[in-house]
Structures are given as C-alpha cells and as structure tokens.
Amino acid sequence: MGRSLSFFVVFLSFCWLVNTQSRFTTPTTDRYTSPTCPKTNYGKDEPSKEENLYACKQYQCQSCCGENITMELAQVPLQQIGNVNMDQCSEKHHPLSGACSDEWTYIECFYQCSPNLFPWIGPLKKLHNIPICAKFCDNWFNLCAADYTCVAGEGNWLTGLDKGFNEDGTAKNPCKGGVSCRNYTQVYGSGEKLCNTVWGDLFKYTTDEEHCVDPSDIKHNLDFVKSLNPSYEVNDCTVTPVSYTDAGVIVGIVFGVLAGLLLIAAGVYYFMQRKKANDQPSKKDQPKTEEMTTLRTTSQPAKENPDTPPNTRDQSDVEEA
C-alpha cells in the first residue's frame, strides 16, 4: 500500500512539473487559428495592410496597429506611448538611453502590431503568458540596467505608474507619491524578473530558445507559432510578392545602368580620340611644299653647265698659271 501511494505521489508530481514547464509554451486557447488582433488600447479589431507606419514597418503588410501609435514609437528615445510616460526620470537623472529605448520599441511594436500572437489570446481577447525568450529578456535587462524608472513596488507598469494626461493635455507625472526613481538593476535585478513583471502576466521568461518568441526576430516567431499547431496560419511580412510596380522599377533601374555604361564608353572613346589627335603633329608645324622644294634645292651640289668646254678655266686661273 505504501509503495503504491509513493508511486502515485511521484506520478502526480511529474504531471505537475510537465504542466508547469509546458504551460508557458503551449497556446492559451485554440479558439483562434489565424492572424488575429488582440484587444489593446490602441490596436485595430482586425489586421490589415498599413502603408504609412512611422515605425514597426516589419508588420505593415498585415498590422494590428495604425499609424498614429507608430508616430510615438518612432521617437528616439521614446517619450510617450499612449498614456504611458516612457522617460520617467530624465529631470532627476538622465533621459532614457537609446539602447534601452530600442528594446522597448521592439516590445511595443510586437505587442501593438503583430497579428501572429493569436495562440495566446485568452478571454476578452487579452494576451496572457506569452513565452518570451530568455536571451531577449537578458539582453533587454542588460541594455536598460543603468536607466531609471519610478515604477512602484515590484515593477509592474500596469499598476505601479500614474498614467494619462492632465486637463491641459500634458502628460501626468508618472511617479506615484513618495516613489523615487530607481535604476532597472535595483527594481528588477535580472532579465527574468523584468519580463515576468513589467507588464503583469503578459510575458513568461522561457529558457527553451526554440519554443519562445523573440520580439526582435520575426522569422523565429513565425516558425515557433507554426510548430505549435500544423493548422495555424501565420502572416509573413518578410516575404512580399513582386508587384507590377516593383517590376517596372526594376526595369527602369536596368535601363538606367545600361545608359550609364554607354555614356562611360562614349566618354572613354572621346578621350582616346583626343589623345591620338594630340600625339600627331599639326599641319602648322609641317613645312609647306614651296619650303620643301627650296630646302631640297639648297642641299644639292651645283651641276656643271653643259655648254662650257671641259678645258675652259676661269681667267683668275690663267693669271695664276
């Protein structure tokens, strides 16, 4: 009896462990099997093409966000995203660093714009327990370690910040009363706590790098989602078919290159002809026909007069004799 009970306890423990490890990578629900937009404060009901995104262009072929929110996400460093002040402690310390800002942009574009998070859409179309890669979380933490936030408590931005705007339209002071600024190292201490805490239960830190999402690597995410269920359909913005407009542009480029090569060849030919002409003496430097005739006459010895007898001498010769 005791042995059977021990086996039963071990079996239950094993099942609990497997469930604990897998619940971070398995879908929240199978109610959605194709690109779907979760419910967010600034997202769309259904994904659609966006041609004028200011940021997050990796999702523009089928996006859950519109251009307005991407105007805010295009700021470097980030300042205000919706009702959340991202640069909370610049007056007392220093502005949000560019490196930290870039990681936040990856996160926000991923959350606001991606249509491929449907496996983790739960009740009320809210996202929960997205398995986020440990490598991304650790890098995010390292790049933001020296940046400051005034989030209260454990670091949950959903509950630990004052959000919204004042009556005059300016952003509210995000720091709740009595809360001072701390750097990310003091608040979170690791990439694991950062991902597991910053947006409540949105993310779950996952060390299985093959079965997780990486906001900075769309192709990896697509492969992961497709591996969860063969029936899942995903939207891949990294593969864009060439349109007739694109083909026209390509043809124009080819003809432009050919025209440029012809111009270069014509220039080289012209230069060679000029050089050849300069190497030959000009007609001004060549002697005229009359000058050549005179030159030949002068250089030849004088011929004897055939009418003068061979024995006839000059009078001076006679006198000398």
- What is the average pLDDT across 166-179? 88
What pLDDT, on a 0 to 100 scale, did the predictor assign at position 312?
43
Give pLDDT tens digits for 244-254: 334 344 545 65
Reported confidence tier of residue 177, pLDDT bands at 50, 70, 90: confident
What pLDDT, on a 0 to 100 scale, did the predictor assign at position 271?
74
Q: Is 140 exposed, middle or buried (0-12, 13-18, 19+ CB in 10 A)?
A: buried
Q: How many CB atoms lie within 10 A of CB 137?
A: 27
- What is the average pLDDT across 162-175? 89
What pLDDT, on a 0 to 100 scale, did the predictor assign at position 170?
84
Give the span between the Cα atoms of 62 and 235, in whole angstroms.
7
- Looking at 175-189, 215-229, 255-269, which range is the least confident one? 255-269
Give the span between the Cα atoms of 214 and 216, in whole angstroms.
5
Give pLDDT tens digits for 32-64: 889 999 998 888 999 999 999 999 999 999 999
pTM of this structure: 0.66
What pLDDT, on a 0 to 100 scale, did the predictor assign at position 296?
52
Nearest Cα neighbor of 173 from 98, 101, 92 is 92
Residue 277 predicted with pLDDT over 90: no
Question: What 3 state SS string does the chain have?
Answer: CHHHHHHHHHHHHHHHHHHHHHCCCCCCCCCCCCCCCCCCCCEEEEEECCCCCCCCHHHCCCEEECHHHHHHHCCCCCCEECCEECCCCCCCCCCCCHHHHHHHHHHHHHHHHCCCCHHHECHHHCECCEEEEHHHHHHHHHHHCCCEECCCCCCCCCCCCCCCECCCCCECCCCCCCCCCEEHHHHCCCHHHHHHHCCCCCEEEECCCCCCECCCCHHHHHHHHHHHCCCCCCCCCCCCCCCHHHHHHHHHHHHHHHHHHHHHHHHHHHHHHHHHHHHCCCCCCCCCHHHHHHHHHHHCCCCCCCCCCCCCCCHHHHHHC
What pLDDT, on a 0 to 100 scale, did the predictor assign at position 267?
74
Higher pLDDT, 22 or 102: 102
- What is the average pLDDT across 192-219? 96
Give pLDDT tens digits for 89-131: 988 888 999 999 999 999 999 999 999 999 999 988 999 999 9
What pLDDT, on a 0 to 100 scale, did the predictor assign at position 238?
72
Q: Is 49 exposed, middle or buried (0-12, 13-18, 19+ CB in 10 A)?
A: exposed
Cβ atoms of 96 and 86 within 8 Å: the answer is yes
- Looking at 7-21, 151-165, 224-238, which range is the least confident one? 7-21
What pLDDT, on a 0 to 100 scale, did the predictor assign at position 311?
47
Residue 316 predicted with pLDDT over 50: no
Reported confidence tier of residue 285, pLDDT bands at 50, 70, 90: low
Query: What is the average pLDDT score of the chain?
Result: 79
Residue 313 predicted with pLDDT over 50: no
What pLDDT, on a 0 to 100 scale, did the predictor assign at position 279?
66
Residue 156 predicted with pLDDT over 90: yes
